[in-house]
Structure 1
């Protein structure tokens, strides 16, 4: 099977999984936002930051190393998993004890019980790393998608019932625990991972260098991505953290669920072409073209429609989220493209260079975060500073990746993105005129009309610029459906 066909096939199954989870996640979050307050979301958001850190410690870069290294034997993988079991146990216990430190830092005993409960989630999240990576290495994207959908639906129903019953933020906590347990059990079962007799470090030595740099990158990238939440929770309070985390989450929907439709496929497929950087570059340009084609109009739309998005997704009591989301919205396309770059560093076996780029990105992002929180003391200014840092990191990281690692033309990479700026200019003008001259009341009916008009403008503009591609895709889908009906 050709490289592009493998990527398309894998992307299709990941697409189904991710977009099912988008729908499920939006519905659940919309319901929860009407039962929980920003303060309650902020309380959970504080602990979630530390769970993310422990997830990084639990992986130690082993997951991507298993996908990259095709020479690992069953005995090697068994030994690596045994190390993972020990590490997961230690991390679960450590998080249990850390709950007292979190309570002390944020001066609230409520975090003790929350942290102790979530130590179970930490254990199973870490434990699922090896079996999940085995399924990724075998390109079992359809199976992984099914596992995620089953866990998402099951725990989603539960969290809504608990929220309705008045369990407050504990409903979110139970969802995290049960979701990680379900995913771990199913991944272990379907990966056919077996514990073999004996123990040795030969398997871990085979992946030590690759996984070491990957872990180091994940470690510093954690602070780049999460220091804002830690500092906002400490210096601005849970109310502001709840507002900020919801704006960031809404911004991340298109980033995570469009980018992550493609990027999980890139590393397993392109890792075999580590000695052919030109092949990797050509295939990656196709991916960048798709991400820019989707991301740029979405960025413009979110920037001009943040009020309507917040109103319908979260409800009227969350309207303070809108100005923060508007600023983050402008950087969506940058983050979509940026999020795919790590898979190319991994495919080339250059996690060492990925680590170095991570250090640079972390420095600029942390500096921007501190500037926004401690100097400007404003959520909107913090979002603006972080967005500027994202743009600076984008230019530097991709110049190194394209020019130095792949030995290709950085200018050609930029041209692939630049060709979508005409659509952005037209869409910006149309949405701006609608915003300025549209006389709509700021009530439920007025916001519905305004959102429908803006959505129609987005769809028509996109179709006008990509008519042939859209019609070709529709014809292909109809042909496939007709073929299946006949057979």
Structure 2
């Protein structure tokens, strides 16, 4: 099978898994948010600030290093496995001991046990790194699709049951532990790789150097991404942090899922053709066009329907999240274009560039968050963070573009049609909202606006013959024909 066919097949299976898991996660998020209080989510967010910093360290960027390297030896893969397992075990022990100090920092005594249990994620998360990288390198995305959907479903059942029976924040802790554990059990079941009793730092030196720069970027990036939770948790109430954190996570959920679905497949594909600069650039621009075709209407539509979305699905106790969601949706439009640039750095083996830019970009974002906290509200934090994202978009796209001869305007031209279509759709949905009587129930208004928005966006894409629309239809036809041929052969 050609690289193109394997990539299309991989994207199809990966996207299917992401959409299924996204649908399950969104449904679970809505259900759990109706069952739990903002304070419960605030406690979890405080714990995940600390866990997240160490989580960026646990894999040392070595999964990407294994995928990027064409032919890692058995000695190298075994060394990576034992190295990250030992390192993550040390992290777990460190955080178990440091948990009381974290609780004291935030002024929340209940945080001690939460941090200690969540620190198990370090070890649980690393045991599947090497076998999963092997499945990705082999482009066995059908197997990974089943792994991801099953783990989300199993963890969701556990979390929902616990929330119904009054476990509060512990249902959210269990959800994360069960999801990671079940995912790794399934990955090991599908993988034929097993670690050998061998360790050679010299053999894995190249991989560790690559992963070290990527880890450095992940750390500084995590500082910027989690700085808002850290500072809001320290200087504001747990309920305020819960509202901000859930608004951010809901806004990012579709973005992360769509980008991750493509990333798992595209990174191995780009790594395989890394020396063909023109081909890498062409594939990247087509991909960013396809991603924005899917995410732009989601975010612009959510800006318009945020009020009825929150009231219909989450309830009035989350009403304070409405302006936060609207502001952060603008940031998500920017991040749709910014986040995938990591594929360029990693596939071209230039994680050193990625780390250096990460220092600059993350410092800018962190400064904006500090300003927002100083101004004294979660709305100001969201606004400052969004403005900073817009201001750094040009260098975010331009610097990695130098590696594949891609300019900022190349990206803008690739997505401008999708942006105009999404903006027109959002305008139509907004006009519809103004004409609906105020006495109608929120869920009816939401269903009507979403349905009309989807139909309107499809109509615009079809009539205007948007490039991404045609490309996605082509991919869909190829997959359908492939499935028909495989069924006929059996």
Matches within 5 A, 1:183-202: 183-202=183-202
Report Cα offsets for 1:196-244 as digits up to 9, x if no partner: 2343212321213211111110111110110100111111110000000
Aligned-partner SS, 2:35? coil
* Residues 42 and 241, structure 2, Cα contact 8 Å, conserved in 1: yes
**Aligned-pair CA distance for 1:26:** 1.6
Counterpart position of 2:391: 392
Matches of 1:421 and 1:389, distance apart in 2: 20
Counterpart position of 1:461: 456
Counterpart position of 1:318: 318
Counterpart position of 1:52: 52
**Aligned-pair CA distance for 1:413:** 2.2
Find the partner of 2:404 among 391, 403, 406.
406
Q: 1:244 to 1:448 in 2, by over 3 A?
A: same
* Residues 266 and 344, structure 1, Cα contact 8 Å, conserved in 2: no
**Aligned-pair CA distance for 1:140:** 1.9
* Residues 421 and 461, structure 2, Cα contact 8 Å, conserved in 1: no
**Aligned-pair CA distance for 1:325:** 0.3
Matches within 5 A, 1:24-103: 24-103=24-103
- The alignment's C-alpha RMSD in Å is 2.1
Counterpart position of 1:418: 416
**Aligned-pair CA distance for 1:453:** 3.1
**Aligned-pair CA distance for 1:414:** 1.5
Q: What runs of 5+ residues in structure 1 fail to find an aligned partner?
A: none
Matches of 2:485 and 2:58, distance apart in 1: 46
Find the partner of 1:432 among 423, 430, 433.
430
Counterpart position of 1:371: 371
Matches within 5 A, 1:124-273: 124-273=124-273
Q: 1:481 to 1:116 in 2, by over 3 A?
A: closer
**Aligned-pair CA distance for 1:40:** 1.0
Q: 1:104 to 1:398 in 2, by over 3 A?
A: same
Report Cα offsets for 1:350-370 as digits up to 9, x if no partner: 111111221121011101101
| Range with greater deviation from structure 2 (476-485 or 248-257) | 476-485
Counterpart position of 2:283: 283
TM-score (norm 1): 0.93
Q: 1:156 to 1:88 in 2, by over 3 A?
A: same
2:106 pairs with 1:111: no
Aligned-partner SS, 1:72? coil
**Aligned-pair CA distance for 1:128:** 2.4
**Aligned-pair CA distance for 1:478:** 6.8
| Range with greater deviation from structure 2 (284-293 or 474-483) | 474-483
Matches of 2:342 and 2:62, distance apart in 1: 15
* Residues 118 and 173, structure 1, Cα contact 8 Å, conserved in 2: yes
Matches of 1:34 and 1:411, distance apart in 2: 43
| Range with greater deviation from structure 2 (472-481 or 154-163) | 472-481
Q: 1:481 to 1:400 in 2, by over 3 A?
A: closer
| Range with greater deviation from structure 2 (229-238 or 195-204) | 195-204
Matches of 1:294 and 1:197, distance apart in 2: 46
* Residues 78 and 198, structure 2, Cα contact 8 Å, conserved in 1: no
**Aligned-pair CA distance for 1:39:** 0.5
* Residues 327 and 384, structure 1, Cα contact 8 Å, conserved in 2: yes
Q: 1:194 to 1:432 in 2, by over 3 A?
A: closer
Matches of 2:196 and 2:443, distance apart in 1: 60
Aligned-partner SS, 1:139? coil
| Range with greater deviation from structure 2 (47-56 or 363-372) | 47-56
* Residues 60 and 208, structure 2, Cα contact 8 Å, conserved in 1: no
Matches of 1:50 and 1:12, distance apart in 2: 35
Report Cα offsets for 1:10-31 as digits up to 9, x if no partner: 1111112111111211222222
* Residues 298 and 332, structure 1, Cα contact 8 Å, conserved in 2: no
Q: How many residues align?
A: 482
Report Cα offsets for 1:275-331 as digits up to 9, x if no partner: 111110001111011122222222210111111222233222211111100111123
TM-score (norm 2): 0.93
* Residues 267 and 347, structure 1, Cα contact 8 Å, conserved in 2: yes
Matches of 2:419 and 2:189, distance apart in 1: 47
Counterpart position of 1:357: 357
Matches of 1:330 and 1:277, distance apart in 2: 31
